[in-house]
Structure 1
Amino acid sequence: MSAHDTAEPNRRDFLYIATGAVGAVGVVTALWPFIDQMNPDAATLALAAIDVDVSQVAEGQSIVAKWRGKPVAIRQRTAAEVKAAKDTALGQLKDPVARNANLPADAPATDANRSAPEKEQWLVMVQVCTHLGCIPLGQSGPYDGWFCPCHGSVYDTAGRIRQGPAPENMAIPPFKFTSDTTVRIG
């Protein structure tokens, strides 16, 4: 063993570690403005929740609100639409999961799990096709629900995928009725 082979750190080792630490702090300091600018701005955070007045929506009509840059369909379904959705057996559905942000992730796609609690005629749903993100047409297709003309996905009156290439039901965002005529989304 020579005089240069010591197991203890020397001044050169300390300088390497100190230089590396100062360099790492410098890199983080230089990158922080770029990382911080990726956070949503105040206008986006303000739209985290929106209130929508549904007092003018008649039975059988829909309105579309914009929430977090996505169209959200709010539909007051007719009694026939509610009955058709309730009468659909889960075995007939391509996607048996509700996809409702207000329920557990594995909740079944029954009409009750897709509609508003205690207001079964109301459906609040992100109106984006789950195939490639297109915007389906409302009150269209063989189930009088939504039809995506881009690739042929067909959804029923509860927003559940019935035919076509879409793999999942349309999503139900977090929402609640704050009064009989106002729904808060987000």
Structure 2
Amino acid sequence: MSEKKPKRREFLFTATYAIGVVGAGVVAWPLIDQMNPDASVKALASTEVDLSSVKPGNTITIMWRGKPVFIRRRTPDEIAEARAVNVKELIDPESDEERVKNPEWLVMIGVCTHLGCVPLNDKGDYNGWFCPCHGSHYDISGRIRKGPAPTNMEIPKYEFVNANTIKIG
């Protein structure tokens, strides 16, 4: 039996293919890497907010990803009012318990779900928010109660870092 010796031509083909694959990787890497978000976008991905200065019954507005976020420290009466609502009567049925992680704090994106306006705080028929553009009324839990808006105001992903700090995003 004779052993088949590799020929020079086979070696050259294999070396050429290997160099071609490495070259393709070197060319493709910058094209793929440029699709990753840059540092400014990553910085906007989350934000921490100090809540220690917010008094019960007050709302603060912060900007996150270019949108206003309403953070309201609700009073015990407001919490009771939000929880007393019959969910079956709502346009977009969602209980207050589903919308908050801590009953004292309501965190929601402050954009009307009709056409993207910013509703006014402590206005409207339900002591919550009112969008003057087309007349949408939201209650103290940010749920649509009256008007053309189809859904409740959106709740962003958030968590409590400690008793006085919240991380949104």
TM-score (norm 1): 0.71
Counterpart of 2:133 in structure 1: which amino acid?
A: C
Give CA deviations for 1:76-98 in whole Å, capped at 9, x if unaligned.
Answer: 011111111100011111001xx
Choose between structure 1 and 2: higher strand proportion: 2
Choose which of 121, 126, 135 in structure 2 pairs with 1:152: 135
Percent identical pairs in the alignment equals 51
Aligned length: 142
CA distance in structure 2 between the partners assigned to 1:183 and 1:142 by the alignment: 29
- Unpaired runs of 5+ in structure 1? 1-24, 97-108
Give the Cα separation in 2 of the matches to 1:124 and 1:51: 13
Q: Partner residue of 2:70?
A: 73
Report the counterpart of residue 47 of structure 1 in structure 2.
Answer: 44
Report the counterpart of residue 157 of structure 2 in structure 1.
Answer: 174
43-52 vs 147-156, which deviates more? 43-52
**Equivalent-residue separation in structure 2 for 1:40 and 1:137 (angstroms):** 33
Q: Which of 109, 133, 136 lines up with 2:119 in the alignment?
A: 136
Is 1:123 paired with 2:110?
Answer: no
Q: TM-score, normalised by structure 2?
A: 0.78
The reply to whether residue 85 of structure 1 matches residue 68 of structure 2 is: no
Which consecutive residues of structure 2, in runs of 5 or more, have no partner in the other structure? Answer: 1-23
Q: 2:63 is aligned with what amino acid? A: K
- 1:16 corresponding residue in structure 2: none
Q: Which runs of 4+ in 1 moved over 4 A?
A: none
Instruction: Look up the equivalent residue of 1:115 and give its one-letter code.
Output: V
Could you tell me how far 1:111 is from its partner in structure 2? Answer: 0.7
Give SS of 2:162's match.
coil
Structure 1 CA distance for aligned equivalents of residues 156 and 131 of structure 2: 20
Q: 1 CA distance for matches of 2:129 and 2:61?
A: 13
Larger Rg: 2
Q: Matches of 1:40 and 1:63 in 2, distance apart?
A: 29
1:41, distance to aligned residue in structure 2 (A):
3.0
SS of alignment partner, residue 178 of structure 1? strand
